[in-house]
A and B are shown apart, each in its own frame.
Chain A
Amino acid sequence: MSRILTIAHLTLIEAYRRRIVPAALLCSALFLLVYGTALYFINLNIPASPQRQFQLQFFTLAGLYVANFLAIAAAVLLPVDTLSGEIDSGVMQTLASKPVRRAEIVLGKWLTYWLMIAAYLAIVAGGVVLVARLATGFAQQHLGLAFPLMLLGATFMLTISIAGSARLKTVTNGIVAFAFYGIAFIGGWIEQIGAFTRNDASRYVGTALSLASPSDALWRRAAYELQPPVMRGLQLTPFGAGRVPSDAMIWWAAALTVLALLFAIRVLNRRPL
């Protein structure tokens, strides 16, 4: 365990000194500033009516959607070269020649990046909720249910990126990892359209794509949890779920994440350095 923590510490120093942390924080602050400003002026034009809460919920969900996307993009980009870059440069030889298991190298890096992504998501999603509250007075409910789902989606993408980094060159890995997100995104839409149009074939294709890459399904479940019950079934916003991803999908996503992590370890174990 101590060697995992040493690798985690090394990864954290590297991320901090490469100015990844300040850059992420600055971009988050900019996003929240723009979002808050827009929400403030939008709020001025929303009349006091029974629909007001629905509209504020929609704009808050839109902010959380962007927060979720930023966390997923960070989860893909942050570790995209973490193994491939060190293998190509020869740095990995120095680490792997020490009495450390290659699994410990993967787990140490994964742990650091996971903590960073969790913190980033907490800052951006928490920031959206806080800004919405300050700008409009809207209090987002059920964040405690939605946040773990959003984090699981980002964790899945993070693990895919690390697994790809164990096997692929950096740029190739970035393309493949974003393709995974693209599959999830399009799968989610196909599934929703299939549900609206009662087209079973579309629903099955969408579900199959979500099983292959469940990050969008996790967001849709998170969005479902974030909305009040009366709004969930109305399908008035793009965040309505025509077909709500089940608990089984959540467990499947967790299992797939573990499998991707085991795959990363297996690939690095077998890779000539």
Chain B
Amino acid sequence: MPDLAIETESLRKHFGHTVAVADVSLAIRRGEVFGFLGPNGAGKTTSLKLLLGLIEPTGGSGTVLGAPLGTRAVRARIGFLPEHFRFHDCLTGRELLRIHGRLFGMRGAALEARIDTLLARVALTEAADRRLQTYSKGMIQRAGLAQALVNSPELVFLDEPTSGLDPLGRVLVRGIIEELRAAGTTVFLNSHLLGEVEATCDRVAFVKQGRVIEDLALTDAPKGLDVELRVGVADTAALAGLSAYGELGDLAAAADARERDGADAGVTGAATCVVRVRLASETALPELAPWLVARGIALYELRVRRKSLEESFIEIMGEDQTPG
């Protein structure tokens, strides 16, 4: 049984007749950077609020850091950056961190030192004594991120942490998430920016209409690693043996294309055709070229095409989705 930071079983939340969360079952390991993805209105933020104890579930159960949802002692060990990053804007950046640090029971020199460290880390030292109402959107976002980290949490919930940031701000947040990962902190990332998620997360869950419908490890070999081979061959049937490595594209279509378009002379002037193989595992990739050469098949090009998270998202969510 792995050491889990978050574990939920069929978590549900209804608001009257509206089902906000229908079935969310998660198992997030400690130290993992976990992405929670879904279209607008899919139930991501409601799920996050359930995990934080901000709302009571209608059904199901769950634990955060080993304790039931919403336990006050556990809230002392977590950090949270809310969506829309609304804080008391009459406070200065330093006061914001001081007030929230005190709510965690922090006091004195230790708190002040932590505040200085965090302000420097989010590049707000110079603006530390200005009120938040004078900050730009990105600066408030970074102050909010510092607020989420003031208690050196074991688990951080980040709801759209980069939505208000420019590219430099995004790099800064990505760096902080990397530091959290290195320190063994679990990160629960709720984001629409799939590129950011792909760059930072170990694993993602896709949520649709309040249900987790797919769980995908991004650090493992991707499912459906597509390989495109441009080979010189008279008889495409000779390539049928490639099926031992994975699902083979339509050879007849490749041959037809060769006949219809004429031999693709390519840069070498030799006749070639393009064959696609979807490998079951990335480990098979180094074996492809030797296999072809051993059978006297000339290999002109081998291209690996990884499916982007965005493509996976669209594929998993299906065609029925409309922009939210």
Chain A residues packing against B (C-beta within 8 Å): 2-3, 6-7, 9-10, 13-14, 17-18, 89-91, 93-101, 270, 272-273
Residues from 35 to 75 in B contacting A, C-beta threshold 8 Å:
49, 52-56, 72-73, 75
A57-B320 Cα distance, complex, nearest whole Å: 78
A selection of 16 A-B contacts at a CB cut-off of 8 Å is A3-B102, A13-B88, A93-B49, A93-B52, A93-B54, A93-B82, A94-B80, A97-B52, A97-B53, A97-B75, A97-B78, A98-B100, A99-B76, A100-B103, A272-B56, A273-B49
- Which chain A residues lie closer than 8 Å to B80 at the CB level? 93-94, 97
* Inter-subunit contact B103/A3 (CB<8 Å): yes
* Inter-subunit contact A14/B90 (CB<8 Å): yes
Besides A91-B87, A93-B54, 9 new A-B residue pairs in contact (Cβ under 8 A), listed by A number: A2-B102, A10-B99, A13-B88, A91-B88, A93-B49, A97-B53, A97-B75, A98-B75, A272-B15
A10-B96 Cα distance, complex, nearest whole Å: 9
- Which chain B residues lie closer than 8 Å to A2 at the CB level? 102, 105
- Which chain B residues lie closer than 8 Å to A94 at the CB level? 80, 82, 86-87, 100, 144, 147
A273-B83 Cα distance, complex, nearest whole Å: 13
Choose from B15, B49, B83, B102 the contact partner of A6 (Cβ within 8 Å): B102
Residues from 101 to 117 in B contacting A, C-beta threshold 8 Å:
102-105
Closest 5 CB pairs of A and B: A99-B76, A17-B90, A272-B55, A98-B103, A90-B86
* Inter-subunit contact A9/B86 (CB<8 Å): no
- Which chain A residues lie closer than 8 Å to B87 at the CB level? 91, 94
- Which chain A residues lie closer than 8 Å to B76 at the CB level? 99
- Nearest B residue to A101 by beta-carbon distance? B72
- Nearest B residue to A14 by beta-carbon distance? B90
Which range holds the interface residue count of chain B? 20 to 34
Per DSSP, chain A at the interface is helix
The answer, yes or no, to whether B95 is at the interface (CB within 8 Å) is yes
* Inter-subunit contact A272/B90 (CB<8 Å): no
The answer, yes or no, to whether B91 is at the interface (CB within 8 Å) is yes
- Which chain A residues lie closer than 8 Å to B131 at the CB level? 17
A7-B80 Cα distance, complex, nearest whole Å: 18
A145-B83 Cα distance, complex, nearest whole Å: 51
- Which chain B residues lie closer than 8 Å to A95 at the CB level? 103
A261-B78 Cα distance, complex, nearest whole Å: 30
A96-B73 Cα distance, complex, nearest whole Å: 13
- Which chain B residues lie closer than 8 Å to A3 at the CB level? 102-103, 105
- Which chain B residues lie closer than 8 Å to A9 at the CB level? 99
A77-B53 Cα distance, complex, nearest whole Å: 31
- Which chain A residues lie closer than 8 Å to B103 at the CB level? 3, 6-7, 95, 98-100
Known: A2-B105, A97-B52, A98-B100. A90 touches B90 (CB 8 A): no
* Inter-subunit contact B84/A90 (CB<8 Å): yes
A10-B87 Cα distance, complex, nearest whole Å: 12
Output the least CB separation between B160 and chain A (Å). 12
- Which chain A residues lie closer than 8 Å to B55 at the CB level? 272-273
- Which chain A residues lie closer than 8 Å to B90 at the CB level? 13-14, 17-18
A183-B218 Cα distance, complex, nearest whole Å: 64
- Nearest B residue to A91 by beta-carbon distance? B86
- Which chain A residues lie closer than 8 Å to B102 at the CB level? 2-3, 6
- Nearest A residue to B13 by beta-carbon distance? A272
Known: A95-B103, A98-B100. A90 touches B78 (CB 8 A): no
Output the least CB separation between B49 and chain A (Å). 7
Known: A10-B99, A14-B88, A97-B75. A90 touches B105 (CB 8 A): no
A10-B76 Cα distance, complex, nearest whole Å: 19
Known: A6-B102, A98-B103, A100-B103. A13 touches B82 (CB 8 A): no
Output the least CB separation between A161 and chain B (Å). 20
Output the least CB separation between A33 and chain B (Å). 30
- Which chain A residues lie closer than 8 Å to B49 at the CB level? 93, 272-273
- Which chain A residues lie closer than 8 Å to B54 at the CB level? 93, 96-97, 272-273
A17-B72 Cα distance, complex, nearest whole Å: 31
- Which chain B residues lie closer than 8 Å to A18 at the CB level? 90
A13-B133 Cα distance, complex, nearest whole Å: 14
- Which chain A residues lie closer than 8 Å to B82 at the CB level? 90, 93-94, 97
Output the least CB separation between A145 and chain B (Å). 39
* Inter-subunit contact B104/A98 (CB<8 Å): yes
A6-B80 Cα distance, complex, nearest whole Å: 19
- Which chain A residues lie closer than 8 Å to B73 at the CB level? 99
A17-B88 Cα distance, complex, nearest whole Å: 11
Output the least CB separation between B190 and chain A (Å). 13
A94-B80 Cα distance, complex, nearest whole Å: 7
- Nearest B residue to A272 by beta-carbon distance? B55
Mark B1-35 against chain A: 1 for CB-CB distance below 8 A, else 0.
00000000000000100000000000000000000
- Nearest A residue to B147 by beta-carbon distance? A94
A93-B75 Cα distance, complex, nearest whole Å: 12
Output the least CB separation between B145 and chain A (Å). 12
A13-B89 Cα distance, complex, nearest whole Å: 11
Known: A9-B99, A273-B54. A99 touches B86 (CB 8 A): no
* Inter-subunit contact B88/A99 (CB<8 Å): no
A13-B91 Cα distance, complex, nearest whole Å: 8
Output the least CB separation between A198 and chain B (Å). 53
Mark B293-319 against chain A: 1 for CB-CB distance below 8 A, else 0.
000000000000000000000000000
- Which chain B residues lie closer than 8 Å to A17 at the CB level? 90, 131
A93-B84 Cα distance, complex, nearest whole Å: 11
